[in-house]
Each structure stands twice: as C-alpha cells, then as structure tokens.
C-alpha cells in the first residue's frame, strides 16, 4: 500500500513540474510572437490665448445684492415672530371645547339608545331572548307533569337508597366495634375472675360495660326508627301506587273517550262522504237522463224532418 502511495505522489509531482514548464514555455513564445508598438506622433504645441485688458466675468455678476431676509422675487422670509403665539385663558378655551365634545358624545349615546329602544319596541329587531309558547294540548301537559313527577320520584328513591346504604354502613361499623369491645370486655372479666386485674384495666372494663349498654339502647332505638321509616315508606309507596293506578285508569278512560270520539267523527265523515257520493250519483243519473231525453227529442226531430 505504501508503494502505491509513493508512486502516486511521484506522478503528481512530475505532472506539476511538466505543467509549470509548459506554462513558462507558452508565455515565452507569446512574448516572442508579440510585435513592438510604434510610438505615437507628437502633437504640435498650442499657442497661448492672446492677453486682453478686460478679464471674463461670471454669469450673474451684474445683479445687485439683495437685502437680508428677502427672496430674489421680492418676498420676505418667515421668521419666529410670524409663528402663532397663544393668548387668553387656556382653561376657559379648554372647557368650551370640552363642553362641545361632551354634548356631541351624549347626543350620540342618546340617539343610539333611542334607536335601539324604538327598534325593540316596534318589533323590527327581535332578539328572541324568551322561549315561545308552544301550543301544547291538555293531554300533552298532563303527560309532561306525569313525566316530571316520575323523575322526581326516581330521584327521591335514589336519595333514599343512598341514605339507607349510609345508615346500614354506620350500623355495621358500630356493631363491629361493639363486638370487638365485647370480646375485650369478656377477656377482662375472665382475667378478673381468674386472678384479678389492675385499676387501669378495671376502669377500662367499666367503660366498656357503659359503652355496651349505650350501644344496646341506641341499637334498639335505631332498629325501631328503621322499622317505622320502612312502614312509612311502604305506606307512601301504596299511596303512590294507588294514585298511579287511578291516573292510569283515568288516562285509559280519556284515551277510550278520545278513541270513541275519533270513531264517531270518522263515522260522521264516512256518512258525509257516502251522502256526497249518493248525491253525485243522483246528479249523474239526472244528467244522463236529461242527455237521453235530449237525444230522443233530437232523434224525433230528425225523423220528423226526414218525413
């Protein structure tokens, strides 16, 4: 590999040397091929201008010098004395302008409010910020009331179930704690019967006994309250079921009356259609009869004319 690199560098160096020699040779040949340029002919010297006693004048030299502060046309320059100078009371002028601007502002506000009020009162511009009255029928209103009552009852039932679950959880927790306390009380009583207990354990035993008695009283009251509550709820459920049955009965009665009314109206319409159909048939028969009579008369007239 090193031999290849060495050979490549030698070739590159040889090529560079040959290129330099070629460049030098070509430059020499070009320089030798060029011909010398002949010298340019010299111009004869120009004669100096003749001297005169009157030297030339600059343009505009005959004009008269203008006065300071004036234009060439005769106009006068503006000076600081020409600037406007404030005079009079500033606050008085400011209040006068501000009163005018306030009058324009208030008049614009009054005009805008008056335009809006007129547009709203006349009904040209309706904002539709109220719900329109839908022409519900009495039956639809009753259905809506029944649906609202049903949703309210479902909500009350959910709240009752939640309250029952909370109370049941509290009762179970207190019963579990009472059971643990009873086990501890039995243990202390057993130890007291066997060999005696310390004053601290005796106080704990008395406290556990008092808590057990209080829990038994509370449990009896709670069970009694739950039973009364369940009876009251059962009574309310029966009343609601009775009211629901009466309402369903009333709704069925109204529906039946409505159906009977519709059937009666349909029967009356059918009778009217049948009557109209009979009248049309009668009119058609009369027209047909008149037509046949006219044809007979025409036939009779033709026969009479032929004879």
Q: Is 30 exposed, middle or buried (0-12, 13-18, 19+ CB in 10 A)?
A: exposed
Q: What is the pLDDT of residue 23?
A: 45
Q: Using 50, 70 and 90 to split pLDDT, how confident is the model at 74?
A: confident
Quick check: 189 and 276 in contact, CB under 8 A? no
Residue whose structure tokens are 């009314």: 261
Distance of CA 7 to the CA centre of its chain: 81
State the Cα torsion 119-124-126-132 to the nearest 10°. Answer: 130
Beta bridge partners of 76: 70
Q: What angle do CA 187, 188, 189 make, to 5 degrees?
A: 90
pLDDT, tens digit, 9 for 90 and up, residues 170-216: 888 988 988 888 888 888 888 888 877 788 888 888 888 898 899 88
Checking if the pLDDT of 39 tops 50, the result is yes
Checking if the pLDDT of 10 tops 60, the result is yes
129-140: b (≥16 Cβ within 10 Å) or e: eeeeeeeeeeee
Residues in contact with 188: Cβ distance below 8 Å, sequence separation at least 6, in sequence order: 197, 201, 204, 205, 208
pLDDT, tens digit, 9 for 90 and up, residues 238-294: 998 888 888 888 888 888 988 999 899 999 999 999 999 999 999 999 999 999 999
Span 32-54, average pLDDT: 55
For the chain, give the percent of residues with pLDDT over 70. Answer: 79
Q: What is the pLDDT of residue 271?
A: 93
Span 18-45, average pLDDT: 51
Closest CA to 186 of 204, 168, 159: 204
DSSP 3-state assignment of 53? coil
């Amino acid at each position: 590999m090193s031999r290849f690199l060495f050979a490549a560098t030698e070739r590159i160096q040889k090529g560079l040397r040959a290129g330099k020699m070629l460049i030098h040779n070509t430059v020499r040949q070009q320089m030798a091929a060029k011909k010398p340029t002949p010298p340019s002919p010299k111009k004869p010297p120009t004669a100096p201008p003749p001297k005169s006693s009157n030297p030339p004048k600059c343009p505009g030299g005959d004009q008269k010098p203008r006065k300071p502060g004036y234009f060439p046309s005769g106009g006068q320059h503006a000076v600081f004395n020409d600037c406007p100078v404030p005079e009079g009371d500033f606050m008085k002028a400011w209040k006068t302008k501000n009163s005018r601007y306030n009058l324009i502002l208030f008049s614009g506000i009054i005009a805008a409010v008056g335009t809006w009020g007129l547009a709203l009162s006349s009904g040209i511009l309706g904002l539709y910020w109220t719900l329109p009255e839908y022409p519900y029928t009495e039956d639809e209103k009753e259905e809506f009331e029944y649906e609202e009552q049903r949703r309210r009852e479902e909500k009350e039932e959910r709240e009752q179930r939640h309250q029952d679950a909370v109370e049941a959880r509290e009762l179970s927790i207190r019963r579990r704690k009472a059971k643990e306390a009873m086990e501890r009380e039995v243990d202390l009583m057993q130890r007291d019967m066997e060999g005696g207990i310390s004053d601290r354990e005796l106080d704990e035993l008395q406290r556990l006994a008092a808590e057990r008695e209080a829990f038994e009283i509370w449990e009896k009251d709670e069970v009694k309250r739950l039973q009364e509550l369940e009876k009251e709820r059962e009574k309310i459920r029966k009343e609601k079921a009775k009211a629901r049955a009466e309402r369903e009965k009333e709704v069925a009665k109204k529906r039946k009356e409505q159906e009977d009314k519709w059937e009666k109206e349909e029967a009356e319409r059918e009778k009217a259609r049948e009557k109209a159909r009979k009248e049309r048939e009668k009119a058609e028969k009369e027209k047909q009869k008149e037509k046949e009579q006219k044809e007979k008369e025409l036939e009779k007239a033709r026969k009479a004319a032929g004879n």
